[in-house]
């Protein structure tokens, strides 16, 4: 039987991941300073080291929560689209979600590969992925707001109201 609403866990994971990614965007300076010092063979400033470790921990948390979210999506499903949306909007929504899911795995994995394994190019992949994720999340947010305010659909309400446990 297909899901008729998002579960509490799915909604909690959606917003938790969103907040953690926002934290990563806003509080990445410490990691950048430590990474730059590391690449130059210099010692990092003591004040940047806790921020760098926080960045690592939050990135790993995103990866764990994203895995849980994907598992729930695969086992529980998601509510079907209302059918009111134009097929082009449905395609754009599916493509946007696919890219977001891909990036919430690629960005932390590439960051971990750069930080823990020193994989050449992983740091660049991490930064490029982060930049792309920012624009895709903005598109996702704009789409939800257009759906809610202009098209008067229930897309945004479904992710704001808690469904079945």
pLDDT tens over the chain, length 165 residues: 678 889 999 999 999 999 999 999 999 999 999 999 999 999 999 999 999 999 999 999 999 999 999 999 999 998 887 677 888 988 999 999 999 999 999 999 999 999 999 998 999 999 999 999 999 999 999 999 998 999 888 888 888 875 444
Direct distance between the N- and C-terminal alpha carbons of the chain, in angstroms, rounded to an integer: 15
Query: How much is the pTM?
Result: 0.91
Among the listed residues 14, 20, 1, the one whose alpha carbon sits nearest the alpha carbon of residue 161: 14
Burial of 26 (0-12, 13-18, 19+ CB in 10 A): exposed
C-alpha pair distances (Å), 46 with each of 30, 50, 142? 10, 8, 39
Among the listed residues 47, 57, 49, the one whose alpha carbon sits nearest the alpha carbon of residue 20: 57
């Amino acid at each position: 039987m297909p899901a008729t609403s998002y579960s509490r866990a799915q909604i909690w994971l959606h917003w938790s991941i969103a907040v953690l990614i926002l934290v990563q965007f806003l509080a990445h300076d410490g990691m950048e300073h430590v990474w730059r010092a590391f690449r130059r063979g210099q010692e990092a400033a003591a004040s940047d080291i806790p921020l760098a470790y926080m960045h690592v921990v939050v990135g790993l948390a995103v990866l764990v929560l994203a895995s849980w979210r994907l598992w729930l999506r695969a086992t529980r499903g998601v509510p079907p689209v209302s059918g009111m949306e134009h097929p082009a909007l449905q395609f754009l929504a599916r493509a946007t979600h696919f890219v977001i899911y891909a990036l919430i795995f690629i960005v932390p994995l590439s960051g971990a590969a750069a930080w823990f394994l020193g994989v050449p190019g992983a740091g660049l992949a991490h930064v490029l992925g982060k930049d792309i994720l920012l624009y895709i999340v903005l598109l996702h947010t704009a789409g939800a707001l257009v759906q809610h305010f202009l098209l008067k659909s229930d897309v945004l309400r479904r992710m704001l109201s808690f469904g079945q446990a």
